[in-house]
Structure 1
Amino acid sequence: MTSTASPSTTGIRAAAQRRTLTVLVVSQILSGAGLAAGITVGALLAQDMLGATGLAGLPSALFTAGSAVAAITVGRVSQTHGRRPGLAAGYATGALGSAGVITAAVLDSPALLFAALFVYGAGSATNLQARYAGADLAPPTHRARAISTVLVATTLGGVVGPNLAAPTGDLAATLGIPRLAGPFLLSGAAYACGALVLALWLRPDPLRLARTLDTAQPAAATGAVQEAAAPQGLRGGAVLGALVMVVSQLVMVAIMTMTPVHMHDHGHGTAASGLVIAIHVGSMYLPSPLTGRLVDAYGRPAVAVASGLTLLVAGVVAATAPADSVALLALALALLGLGWNLGLVSGTAIITDTVSLANRARTQGTVDVAIAVAGATGGLASGVVVDLAGYPVLALTGGVLALAVLPAVAVTAHGR
């Protein structure tokens, strides 16, 4: 079907999309460093302050729970005022949470630490919400690739962040701050800079411009775009998209959270766990361009199935890897990140395909709440499972849970 959109409208949309992606790439590089640095030592900081492993998963649960609240807030602000104020406010809140974590470490206050980690979760939610902004102005047939461009930008910061855990710890020590709180110095600065970039340069606002251009198109053109945005077999499949992302997040967070603790308990230092998490975060985002092309070329369901299978393999490798093998743990975490990436890009494309512009930001925020709740559940349960049954049981259970994606895809396919 040939689009009837005017050449001028198409040119405006294309130019604005290029600028949007450029600004989002810069902000995502910054926020990736902030996100990954905190992940690396969050569980270790709690373990050090509490003196127990059973609650080491609580930091992950708290900042993912905080991300649930932030996701719906950022979604509603974006729905009403546009992506720019929603995303900028989210990153600024993440920076505030980072400052709170540092203060809690200095005061040795677990209560303040937990409250600050909850606020810190806003950075994680915003980092994920930014992928939707990349798709607002993208043509339906290139939507997954636009999403993947935003995601891959997180890679640089995400890989650099964990590897700065030791140097930022040294910096913190010279400032009289507990060494494990050092990475949160980086997180706070990175999130604050990300907020500033978006507030100053994300103009025109992609969601508001997309609505304006959509309204300006003739009815026939609007119908053509909506038809293209909902591939055959996926109309009404928003539940599938949400489920794919929820399962991917649950499994990924649970295994990722306890891997640094598992390594620490077997004699590995912060540098080794930082390297493994860096490889993991890189695998979460670096494959995004290829994933986007696969999703656009072979369909959303096929890549969703690949996600479930990859997460299963990751769980098996993590469960069977010798505790002294950094290489095998790194491989397991790389597969874990890849499985999450396949699920996130395919699930996001399904959601964006099936929701109209009029309700898009609000719905996306609601979906990301479910994702955050899944992450909080995985993070909280992970410490308990490891405390009671061990890390291999946690990893294997997570891998098996990932297979829930397969029947969901099958049921959706047969229901269309």
Structure 2
Amino acid sequence: MATELTAPPGVRVDAPAIQRRTVRLLFVTQIISGIGVTIGISVGALLARSIAGTAVSGLTQAASVVGGALLAVPVTRVMTAYGRRPGLVLGYLAGAVGGLFVVLAAVRGWVPLLFAGMLLFGGSTTANLQARYTAVDLADPARRARQLGLIVWATTVGSVAAPNFAAAADATTRRAGLPEYAGPFGFSAAAFVLAAVLLFVLLRPDPLLTARRFAAPTGAPDAAVARTPQAGAPVGADAQLPVGADAELPVGADAELPVGADAEAGGPGPARRAGLLDGLRAVRSRPDARLGVTAVAIGHVAMVAVMTMTPVRIGESHAEADVLRLVGLVLSLHIAGMYALSPVIGWLTDRTGRRPVILGAVMVLLAACAVAGTAGHHTPRLAVGLALLGLGWSGTMVAGSTLLSESVPVDLRPAAQGLSDLIMGLAGASAGAASGFVVQFAGYPVLTALAAVAVVPLLALALRPVPAGAAGAR
């Protein structure tokens, strides 16, 4: 549970300035890392096919997803103990090492090294996901979802630009002697290193440590909120917190707030090392936190299951020469649905509340499954279904992540968020793996029907009455 820590004498914290700088930095690094992630994903299956054959190529994406989910565990522990900055840096550096392993695997033809590289490559996805939570540590409660949605949207910029970078990177590195499809992973590694360096140098003071340093007593879920500036009060994104007389707390690149066991003495120290079990206990004891985790996971399950097999569905009714063009068009609309409107969804989440947006997202997901499942081989209708699927996913991701973040104490927040990403990743990987068997034995319409069935429990959970006085019940 969060505990009150007395601010050093003569300190003034400009929380809005810290928050603005944090969001700007995260926006830039999300674009850079989004390019790196999408470059690798766009050629990963092709590289695996060239090394190990078609039968193995489909497993590379699953390896990256599973790796991202598993790496959420160490990244979460680092964030809990030392703050957002070292955790994000760890995730991106793991992705960079993974990219270099993949390049070496392509040069040597080593399949085990290829899969080890793809597992580590998933660390970049872990860092990307955790960045959205970093954006709300010091956010004004009235703008939390908008700022989280903005960081989700920034990934779109990199994802849209990445395919062009992939082709150029491959052409450049092939002239240098690297095998086909290997070079883009080298460029991905460089992008992750750049993102890690920017965060390591510029993400100061650390937003999580700052929020924790001025957390409210007794573990109030929303500890980083203060409307009235007063000595020793918690700090929020809309408040300048004067503490002591006239001194100012430096908020530049070299500033840090002392946090942890040694904070009272003025020295930096790690916080209590809350792990995923602590996060699980925090989530289980709070209805809003349970709803947030469930919304993120179920939205991801429905999206991954249907999206994964849509290219196969298109390939059933179109000539091979047209398949890639149509798949690219349909998936582009799907990705636009996932990311393009996330700032708007964030605004709606702040204006109307978290639960109403989750309920709306459930309705959109059900509609998406109905449209895609009954589209037959009518590609325009299938494209509409996939766009709706992405939009529903965006609603569950933005509203669910915001609800989770504000429903747990600040010192347990990284553990609960890491648990959510772990559940989301493993659930999505399972849905993707099972979807092929469902389509093979029962067909695509049955897959969409099962995805709709999976969404129904979320509807029931979101409609449950909110206990009186529950934190974050909006």
Query: What does residue 20 of structure 2 align with?
Result: 18
**2:202 maps to amino acid:** W
Do 1:158 and 1:282's aligned partners in 2 also have CA atoms closer than 8 Å? no
SS at match of 1:203: coil
- The answer for the alignment partner of 1:231 in structure 2 is none
- Where does 1:300-315 land on structure 2 (aligned, <5 Å)? 300-315=354-369
Indicate the RMSD between aligned Cα atoms, in angstroms. Answer: 3.3
Structure with larger RCO (C-alpha < 8 A, sep 6+): 1
Structure 2 unmatched ranges of 5 or more: 1-6, 218-225, 238-284
Cα displacement string for residues 337-377 of structure 1 (whole angstroms, at most 9, x for unaligned residues): 21111001111111112111121112211221111111221
Q: Contact 1:318–1:333 (CA<8 Å) still a contact in 2?
A: yes
The range that moved more, 266-275 or 103-112, is 266-275
- Does residue 440 of structure 2 align to residue 370 of structure 1? no
Q: Deviations over 1:228-285 (max 9, x none)?
A: xxxxxx9642111101101111122223334445556752465654454444333322
Q: Give distance in 1, aligned partners of 2:19 and 2:74.
A: 24
Aligned counterparts of 2:314 and 2:418: Cα–Cα separation in 1:
35
The answer as to 2:435 corresponding to 1:382 is yes
Q: Which amino acid aligns with 2:397?
A: L
- Counting matched residue pairs gives 400
- 1-structure distance, mates of 2:165, 2:375: 26
* Aligned ranges 1:9-408 → 2 under 5 Å: 12-46=14-48, 51-52=53-54, 57-171=58-172, 173-177=174-178, 179-181=180-182, 183-214=184-215, 221-222=233-234, 236-260=287-311, 263=314, 266=318, 267=320, 268=322, 273-321=327-375, 325=379, 327-408=380-461
**Which secondary structure does the structure 1 equivalent of 2:214 belong to?**
helix
- SS of aligned partner of 1:70: helix
Aligned-partner Cα distance in 2 for 1:258–1:185: 29
Give 1:159 shift.
1.4
The CA distance in 2 between the partners of 1:23 and 1:389, in whole Å, is 47
Q: In the alignment, is the contact (CA less than 8 A) between 1:36 and 1:281 conserved in 2?
A: no
| Matching residue's letter, 1:247 | I
Local SS of the residue matching 2:410: coil
Q: Which amino acid aligns with 1:30?
A: I
User: How far apart are the structure 2 equivalents of 1:388 and 1:108?
Assistant: 34
| Deviation of 1:114 (Å) | 2.2
Deviates more, 1:41-50 or 1:142-151: 41-50
Alpha-carbon distance in 2 for matches of 1:344, 1:33: 21
Deviates more, 1:110-119 or 1:73-82: 110-119
Provide the identity percentage: 41
Take 1:316 and 1:163, find their aligned partners in 2: how far apart are those partners?
Answer: 34
Give, in angstroms, the shift of residue 169 of structure 1.
4.5
> Normalized against structure 2, the TM-score is what?
0.74
Distance in structure 2 (CA, Å) of the matches to 1:371 and 1:248 = 9
8 Å CA contact 2:216–2:233 kept in 1: the answer is no
| Alpha-carbon distance, 1:104 to partner | 3.0
AA partner of residue 241 (structure 1): G
Cα deviation for residue 170 of structure 1 reads: 4.0
Residues 101 and 112, structure 1, Cα contact 8 Å, conserved in 2:
yes
Rounded Cα–Cα distance in structure 2 between residues aligned with 1:318 and 1:183: 33
Contact 1:90 1:123 in 2 (8 A): yes
**Is the Cα contact below 8 Å between 2:15 and 2:235 reproduced in 1?**
no
Between the aligned partners of 2:153 and 2:176, the Cα distance in structure 1 is 34
The alignment's TM-score, normalised by the length of structure 1, stands at 0.84
Q: Which has the higher helix share?
A: 1
